[in-house]
Amino acid sequence: MLIFTNEDDPFSAITGAVKTDMIRTTIQRAKDAQDLGLSIELLPLSRPDEEFNVSLFYADLIGLDGAEITEYLPSAGEKLEDMTDQLRKRMMKKRRVKTLSFAITNDVCIEVNTYALTRPTTPGTITWLDSVSNIPLKTERSFICNDTGALLQDPQMRFQMYNDTVVKFSVRELSEVKRVSSHHLRLIGFKPLDCLKDYHNLRPSTFIYPSDEHIFGSTRVFVALHSSMLRLGRFALAFYGNPTRPQLVALVAQEEVTSSAGQVEPPGMHMIYLPYSDDIRYPEEVHVTSDEAPRATDEQIKKASSLLKRIDLKNFSVCQFANPALQRHYGILEALALGEDEMPDIKDETLPDEEGLARPGVVKAIDEFKASVYGENYDQEEAEAAAAKASRGDASKKRKAITDAASLKSAAYDWAELADNGKLKDMTVVELKSYLTAHDLPISGKKEALISRILTHLGK
């Protein structure tokens, strides 16, 4: 148990016998917990105007006496600094994704680093281990001849189908074909910011920042370009010669934002990946006249507005919600590492607030909105429709069972041979009906009508 406090006398507001009794009870409970194996550590936080006095209360709580009291405060300060080593947590490394050369003109080229600010977090890469020795395994890929089963070397040729023709490439030729641009990033021109639409963003942007590590003066050129783009309200259109998929990108300058706590947004540029003309889909337009289009009434809009106000999420932020799948993954790993028998219960913060939705005001708003849209008897009609659907499902299952049984019984006879030999008249009505049921034919009528129906189905 770690206690962080700047209050050296937690019972200072109480006096007399009550204070003495509270201190005695608290110290006794702490000793009982320590006897059960619980460790209690005090991490005092000193106030600016006075020093933390351990001897007032906490010395007896954690069992300090004599010289231990004077030596405790310096050691507690060291413990507070080492807390990052004691806490179990996963830290994301702040590192650049890659370094790019940014060609502004044929004669001016600067160096920039790229950073991924927002990316989905994954559980991590799986490492395969040997089941006996627990040693990490190395994965290798081999090519096997389909005819002889012999191991082959890596194929020296690649092929691509074009116009029903196999076009072959060597590894070197394929590398040359994919090398579209000599520079990683090449400036094309500038456009006003209002030309950049929301639907132009294909995936999360990449943040770029200048670097003087290999090309001296890159920061100075980048700052001049960055300031001009902010002042004129323009973005830079560039070509990103990615080996896997060359793309057009928009470089949008971001101004530095600071607060009393420090830097909130860093200065730099966001590299937004733009679509090609082939990437934009144009769905078919559905022309609906005003008479056919459903319209909400004023009463329905009023009830919907009341419902929205009732379940409004105040001060909402995505940072309040942890990924439940990741939390469960890390919880299981921690339990396995610590040798715990029970897996931890992970609280899924993405589930609806059942307690909040059960409040009388919210329930009333939901019922009124539902009644305004679907009518007063919607719940009863929905229940009746569900019951009818279940009934139809049961009837369908029953018919299928009857058909399966008839098919099984009908399969025991060679009906074509019986028809050719004129022996259908010797069959019973039940046997004749089994054939008709198996083939979804009517089973009404006398025996002669059943035989005629079977002969017609057999084409006799």
Q: What pLDDT shows up at residue 339?
A: 80
HSE-up of residue 441 (Cα within 13 Å, Cβ side)? 20
What Å distances lie between residue 69 and 147, 158, 183, 239, CA to CA?
82, 76, 66, 67
* Number of neighbours of residue 225 by Cβ within 10 angstroms: 21
What is the three-class DSSP state of 276? Answer: coil
Please provide the size of the chain in residues.
460
Domain annotation for the chain: domains and CATH numbers:
2-86 (no CATH), 94-120+154-280 (2.40.290.10), 298-373 (1.10.1600.10), 384-458 (1.10.720)
In degrees, rounded to 5, the angle at the alpha carbon of residue 290 between the alpha carbons of residues 286 and 293 is 65
pLDDT at 250 over 90: yes
What confidence tier does 126 reach under pLDDT thresholds 50, 70, 90? confident
Mean pLDDT of 399-409: 74
Distance CA 112, CA 98 (A): 9
Find which of 60-69, 136-145, 208-217, 402-411 is predicted with most confidence, using mean pLDDT. 208-217
For residue range 258-278, what is the model confidence (pLDDT) as tens digits? 888 788 888 999 999 999 888
Distance CA 240, CA 271 (A): 10
Q: Answer yes or no: are the C-beta atoms of 433 and 403 closer than 8 Å.
A: no
Mean pLDDT of 418-437: 79
Find which of 167-171, 265-269, 369-373, 416-420 is predicted with most confidence, using mean pLDDT. 265-269
What confidence tier does 233 reach under pLDDT thresholds 50, 70, 90? very high
Question: For 214, which DSSP code?
Answer: S
What is the three-class DSSP state of 314? Answer: coil
* Number of neighbours of residue 240 by Cβ within 10 angstroms: 20
Distance CA 303, CA 310 (A): 11
Q: What pLDDT shows up at residue 87?
A: 55
Q: Answer yes or no: are the C-beta atoms of 426 and 417 closer than 8 Å.
A: no
For residue range 272-296, what is the model confidence (pLDDT) as tens digits? 999 988 888 877 666 666 566 678 8
Least confident piece of the model among 40-54, 106-120, 316-330, 375-389: 375-389
Instruction: Spell out where 241-359 has E strands.
Output: 247-254, 257-259, 262-265, 268-273
What Å distances lie between residue 245 and 44, 111, 176, 197, CA to CA?
56, 21, 14, 22
What confidence tier does 325 reach under pLDDT thresholds 50, 70, 90? confident
* Number of neighbours of residue 76 by Cβ within 10 angstroms: 17
Distance CA 457, CA 450 (A): 11
Mean pLDDT of 108-137: 87
Q: Answer yes or no: are the C-beta atoms of 454 and 436 closer than 8 Å.
A: yes
Which neighbouring-strand residues pair with 234? 192
Distance CA 231, CA 214 (A): 29
Q: What pLDDT shows up at residue 174?
A: 75
